[in-house]
Amino acid sequence: MALQRPKGTQDHLPDGSPKLRLDISARAFRYVTDTAAQVLERAGAAFIETPMFEEAELVKRGVGGSTDIVRKEMFMVYYFGDHGGYVLRPEGTAGLVRAYLENGLKQLPAPFKLWTHGPMFRAERQQRGRLRQFHQVDYEVLGSADPLVDAEAIWLMVQVVQALGLKGVEVKLGSIGDPEDRETYNAYLRGLFGAHVERLSDDSKDRLERNPMRILDSKSQEDQELIAELSVRPMLDFLGAEAEAHFAAVRGFLDAWNVAYTVDPSIVRGLDYYRRTAWELHHAHIGAKSALGGGGRYDGLAKELGGSDTPGIGWAFGVERILIAMEEEGLSLPAAPQPQLYVAALDAGHVPMAAQVALELRSDFWADFGYKAQKPGNAFREGERRGAAYVALIGSDEAAAGTVALKNMSTGEQQSVKVADLAAVLGASALSSRS
C-alpha cells in the first residue's frame, strides 16, 4: 500500500482536487490568514515568525508542567537517534515571548503588537477539529497591563471572525485572577476534592497535588461527574480587588464598543501562564467542549522564561476549526482570480514561442501555455477547463506576422492581435471586468 500521511495531520489541497473540502482547502487557509493580516495589521500588529521547535524547557515553563499539553501531548524532536531536548511547539505564545525578549524588541515602544500564523503540534486523539498538526492565527501584545489592551485584543479577535463572515460565534469571558487569588482558589479546591480523592481519575489525583484547578478542565467523565455533584464554586468568586477592578474595566470597554460576550465563570483555560482576563470563542457547530479560539493575559510569563517583567496578553484561534465553522454556516470563499490567458501552439515548432509569450506576460498577468502542440478545439477546451478569459493560438502565419489568434472565451469573438499589444488587450479587459 502506498504510504500515507501521519495520523492527525491533513494535506491542504489545491482547487480542483477531487477530495477538496473547505477545511482542507489550501486557498481557504490563505484566505483566513490574509483576512487576519488585514484586520490585525490595520491595528498596528507586526508579523513575526519563530521556529517550529523550541527547547522543551521553554514549553514546560511557559505552558506549565501540570497541563495535559506538557504531560501528555508533546512531540519530542529526535535527530540521528539523539534527543536534543527540543519539542515541536504546541502553541505560539511561549516562543513569541521568548523571541520578544531575546531579540531586544522590548526596546521598541510598548505596547508592542505582534501576530503570526503557522502549524502547532499536540499529540491528541484525532477527531473532527482535533488534530496533531493544526494551524493557529496568533495575536500577542507585550508591554502593557492596561485593561484597554485586553478589550482591544478581544475586539480584534471578533473582528477577524466577522471579516470571515462567521455569525454564530460567542465570546465567553472570565477572569482567573492574580496568582494569590488562585492560591486561595486552589486551597478551596484541595479541600473540596480532597474529601473525594478515591473518585478522582488517576490524572486528577495528581492534579490535586500540583494544580487542582486543572481538575476542572479534565476530559475524564468521572471527574466531570464529581465536579457537577460538588457544585464547585467558580474561580470568578475568588477574585481579589485588583483583578476584580481589571475585569470590570475590560467589560466596560467591551460594553461601550458593543462587543457581545457572556461572562462565563467557569473559564479555566488549558495553559498555566494565564492570569486575570481569560476568554474563549465558541461556535455552536464546534461543540461545547472545543473552542474556536482562546486567549488571556499572561503577565508572569516573561519572568517565568527568565526575562524581565513584561506584561502580555494575546489569543489564538485554530484555522481548521474556523473553516469547519464556516462550512457549517454555508459560507464559501471569494472567487479565485480568473486566469487571464492560455497560449497554445498549433505545431511543435511554435511551442517555444507560445511559452515565451506567456512568460513575458507573467510580470502583470496570469498566463500559462501548452507544453505540446494542440489543435484549436483542444486548446479552447483546455482554456475553458482552466477558466481562462482568453485563449491565444500560434501557428505558422501568426509566428511569421508576430501575432496571435486571440479568442475571447466569454464572447467567442476571435481577432488577430500583435504579440506586443497583448498586454494592453488583457489590461483593458481586466479593467472592464472590474467595473
Does 314 participate in binding ligand HAM (rule CB under 6 A)? Answer: yes
What is the closest distance, in whole angstroms, from the C-beta atom of residue 94 to ligand HAM in the complex?
Answer: 8
What is the closest distance, in whole angstroms, from the C-beta atom of residue 249 to ligand HAM in the complex?
Answer: 19
What is the closest distance, in whole angstroms, from the C-beta atom of residue 76 to ligand HAM in the complex?
Answer: 17
Take residue 78 and report the three cell numbers written for it.
529526535
What is the closest distance, in whole angstroms, from the C-beta atom of residue 153 to ligand HAM in the complex?
Answer: 9
Residues 144-183 that bind ligand HAM (CB under 6 A): none
Per the CB < 8 A criterion, the answer to whether 113 and 140 are in contact is: yes
Q: Specify the residue, 143 or 293, whose C-beta has the smaller distance to ligand HAM.
A: 293
Per the CB < 8 A criterion, the answer to whether 95 and 58 are in contact is: yes
Residues 1-60 that bind ligand HAM (CB under 6 A): none
What is the closest distance, in whole angstroms, from the C-beta atom of residue 315 to ligand HAM in the complex?
Answer: 5
Given 166, 316, 343, 417, the residue binding ligand HAM (CB under 6 A): 316
The dihedral region occupied by 370, where left means phi > 0, alpha psi between -120 and 50, and beta the remainder, is beta
What is the closest distance, in whole angstroms, from the C-beta atom of residue 322 to ligand HAM in the complex?
Answer: 8
Q: Is 292 exposed, middle or buried (0-12, 13-18, 19+ CB in 10 A)?
A: buried
- Where are the alpha helices (H) located in 73-125, listed in sequence order? 93-102
Residues 271-290 that bind ligand HAM (CB under 6 A): 271
What is the residue whose three cell numbers read 515553563? 61
d(CA 20, CA 189): 47
What is the residue whose three cell numbers read 465563570? 265
Given 60, 246, 321, 350, the residue binding ligand HAM (CB under 6 A): 321
DSSP result, 283-329: EGGG-TTS-SEEEEE-TTHHHHTTS----EEEEEEEHHHHHHHHHHT
What is the closest distance, in whole angstroms, from the C-beta atom of residue 311 to ligand HAM in the complex?
Answer: 12
Stretch that binds ligand HAM, among 201-209, 227-235, 317-325, 381-389 (CB under 6 A): 317-325
Crossing angle of helices 422-434 and 351-361, rounded to 10°: 50
Does 95 participate in binding ligand HAM (rule CB under 6 A)? Answer: no
Residues 108-147 that bind ligand HAM (CB under 6 A): 122, 124, 129-131, 134, 136, 138, 140
Question: 367-401 as b/e, with b when 16 or more CB fall inside 10 Å?
Answer: bbbbeebbeeeebbebbeebebbbbbbbbeebbee
Bridge partners, 127 (sequence order)? 130
Does 270 participate in binding ligand HAM (rule CB under 6 A)? Answer: yes
Stretch that binds ligand HAM, among 100-108, 310-318, 348-356, 418-426 (CB under 6 A): 310-318
Residue positions counted in the chain? 435
Given 152, 320, 368, 398, the residue binding ligand HAM (CB under 6 A): 320
**Which residues of this chain interact with ligand HAM, rule CB under 6 A?**
91-93, 122, 124, 129-131, 134, 136, 138, 140, 270-271, 291-296, 298, 314-318, 320-321
